[in-house]
Structure 1
Amino acid sequence: MRSLIAFPCAGETLVGTLDAAPGRTGLLIVSGGNEIRCGAHRGMALLAAHVAAAGYPAFRYDRRGIGDSTGENNGYVSARDDLVAAATAFRAQAPQLMTILAYGNCDAASTLALYGRTAGIDRLLLANPWTIEDTDDLPPAAAIRATYRQRLTSPAAWARLLAGKIDFTKAIDGLRKASRTMPQPLATQMVTAIEGWGDAATVILATGDATAQAYRAAARHLPAQSIETASHSFAREEDQRQLRAAVLAALAGAGI
């Protein structure tokens, strides 16, 4: 059964959705960016329904200033109180819970890595963690390098170059950025936070996604699962199937 839940957070009112199930391990879904709790392409709503059908309760919510929740949206770094309030509400609505696994994509993964312990969350499933603090309009350096490696082996890319269909100014800017090694304090902070969770955190990366490539470049020493897709939100049917399988495996493992 699916129900709407309103709960307090720092003087504001957050709205969440509970997909009820009897399991003692539950899934807390945290939305990334400025997405509402149903997720891109309704992906999080569909994931919650799938998880509940397998016997695990699932809870997702809009943080302050997003969707149905009141207040001001100050981004993922300011979402600690929202996460704490959501985890508290989840436990109140599903009192049988012994373990909470939290899932987040992009900067929601970063929120969880930073504040999950404060919220009393037991385990994390982090997709494409956000580690980028670039101020230009180019992709992350790691993504640029991956793109050029692919293009160097692509006959179609060479044909476009010889036909004059390549923007040389943009290409040169990209090469300059790809060749620079700049300090990335945010990446260091996020990788350190994820590393601190040890085996309690699992990372999933969309192999063709720029955000995932930037994380992989910053965290080569940490294990990660891969889904072969360029979709940041795992939008394709096969992406969704693999993501659901990973979530269910994590939930089964979290209850051990």
Structure 2
Amino acid sequence: MNAPHALPYRDRLLPIECAGEALVGLLSEPAAETPTEAAAGTGVLLIVGGPQYRVGSHRQFTLLGRALAGAGVPCLRLDYRGMGDAGGEQRPFDQVDADIAAAIDAWQRAHPSLRRVVLWGLCDAASAALLYVHRRRDARVAGLCLANPWVRTEASLARTQVKHYYLDRLRQPAFWRKLLSGRVGLSAVKELLAKVAQSRAAPPSAAKNAKHAQTGAPVADTRHYTEQMADGLRAFGGPVLLILSGDDYVAKEFLDRCRDGGPAWRGLLSRPGLRREDLPDADHTFSTAAWRAHVERLTAAFVRDALPA
């Protein structure tokens, strides 16, 4: 009888406390700590977007954490307050700064050799990572892995739909044949016109925050979350891995915001230290084994090459 194959990782619970509530942390570590990993003292904190918990759709976060651990990089996944098995009230992605800080604190208490953390997030979890580095300026955060960041507003979604769906339809002879034959009703034309009107809405304004800032009093950043994200990406001093799916409106909205989002977003895709990786056929959650494995390899290489010991 063959001996069971030894797994390259080990999983264990990591207790985390935040504002009197118990969070659930799942730490995946290399089965045998290598000298390189021990010297680097670097781990990946996987922030989970909503509405999800630490396992992720099609187990993507569990598999990513274990793949990283097998490659020598410890990875912590957590349920922040109100999600999964964590206590407390559910909160939106732009209000999880305390949960992220509590997870890093607990990880360092359990592993004092941990000196640097890479924040990894998909969708609004990527947005949460940028908001965290903007607001907290946490020196322990050494890198960012951002997959299909969320920058949605009603206007941005309408612009993306007009640009990547409706305009494509208008170029198709079949659409005009259906329109002229009556098989495409006036409701479809009205829907297009409504989307065009929505897409012309003004971008979020920073005027309110600027007015308060003139008083000199310390105030919370009240600007739209997308402007805070842009500031976080621009000011962050560490390397950034940006992973974008080709078959995903969220990724298209992000690219449109980088091109057309005004001064706050101008030039961010060419900022020093940003590495962009496009997966042309991938969907939002990298749902096939091949896409998932590609993301795992990109992340492990980023931690190894961009953040050497």
User: Do the two structures share a fold, i.e. TM-score over 0.5?
Assistant: yes
**Unaligned 5+ runs, structure 2:** 1-9, 205-223, 260-266, 270-275
Q: Percent identity?
A: 31
The residue that corresponds to 1:83 in the other structure is: 100
Q: State which structure, 1 or 2, has the greater radius of gyration over its C-alpha atoms.
A: 2
1:205-238 Cα deviation digits (max 9, x unpaired): 1122111111111113332331113521111222
Distance 1:65 1:172, change over 3 A: same
Hey, what's the Cα distance between the residues in 1 that align with 2:122 and 2:89?
21
The offset of 1:113, in angstroms, is 0.5
The offset of 1:97, in angstroms, is 2.1
3-state SS in 2 of match to 1:68: coil
Hey, what's the Cα distance between the residues in 2 that align with 1:198 and 1:159?
54
Distance 1:73 1:102, change over 3 A: same
Q: Please identify, of 196-205 and 4-13, the stretch whose mean Cα deviation from structure 2 is larger.
A: 196-205
1:185-217 Cα deviation digits (max 9, x unpaired): 443332222222255323221122111111111
Q: Normalising by structure 2, report the TM-score.
A: 0.74
The residue that corresponds to 2:240 in the other structure is: 201
Matched letter for residue 24 of structure 2: V
The residue that corresponds to 2:192 in the other structure is: 174
User: After the TM superposition, which residues 127-206 of structure 1 pair with which residues of structure 2 at under 5 Å, given as runs?
Assistant: 127-134=147-154, 139-154=157-172, 161=179, 164=182, 166=184, 168-178=186-196, 180-184=200-204, 185-197=224-236, 200-206=239-245
Hey, what's the Cα distance between the residues in 2 that align with 1:192 and 1:31?
22
Distance 1:165 1:55, change over 3 A: farther
Hey, what's the Cα distance between the residues in 2 that align with 1:186 and 1:174?
28
The offset of 1:154, in angstroms, is 4.7
Hey, what's the Cα distance between the residues in 2 that align with 1:222 and 1:56?
28
3-state SS in 1 of match to 2:141: coil
Distance 1:4 1:211, change over 3 A: same
Q: Normalising by structure 1, report the TM-score.
A: 0.88
3-state SS in 1 of match to 2:154: coil
3-state SS in 2 of match to 1:239: helix
Hey, what's the Cα distance between the residues in 1 that align with 2:193 and 2:244?
24
The offset of 1:39, in angstroms, is 0.9
Ranges of 4+ aligned residues in structure 1 off by more than 6 Å: none
The offset of 1:133, in angstroms, is 2.6
3-state SS in 2 of match to 1:5: strand
The residue that corresponds to 2:287 in the other structure is: 235
The residue that corresponds to 1:5 in the other structure is: 14
Hey, what's the Cα distance between the residues in 2 that align with 1:8 and 1:66?
14
